[in-house]
Amino acid sequence: MKSAGIKMAIASSATVEDIEFVLNKIPIRDDFEAIIDGSRVSKGKPNPQIFLKAAADLQARPEDCVVFEDSLAGIKAANAAGMKVVGITTGHKAEQLQPSSLVIDDYG
């Protein structure tokens, strides 16, 4: 996606330490223009603040953003932000991940 010029951000309620742990194990850090962790927002999901902050950091309009999300609170937050949502069935069944624009089983 990066090579196609698509800007990407990580918007996670996780701690910066947890995010860094993952990014130190998987070589994808350079794919993201912005990383928003839970300490950068005052309201957690399902409040849309974290996704709106990510869009602002990318200088993107919320309606032009797509969120990949596996949590129910995250889907609610992305919808509240006015973003398209791709639900991922890693923790919930497809019918629970609604409303989503699309539901997938994994990133593959």
Domains (ranges, CATH) in the chain? 2-104 (3.40.50.1000)
Angle, CA 55 vertex, CA 51 and CA 57 arms, to 5°: 115
Q: What is the percent of the chain with per-residue pLDDT over 90, rounded to a whole number?
A: 94
Query: Does the pLDDT value for residue 107 go beyond 90?
Result: no
C-alpha separations of 105 from 36, 62, 68, 70, 77 in Å: 24, 24, 11, 10, 20
3-state secondary structure of 11: strand
Residues 60-78 have pLDDT tens digits of: 999 999 999 999 999 999 9
Contact (CB, 8 A) for 74 and 49:
no
Residues 13-47 have pLDDT tens digits of: 999 999 999 999 999 999 999 999 999 999 999 99
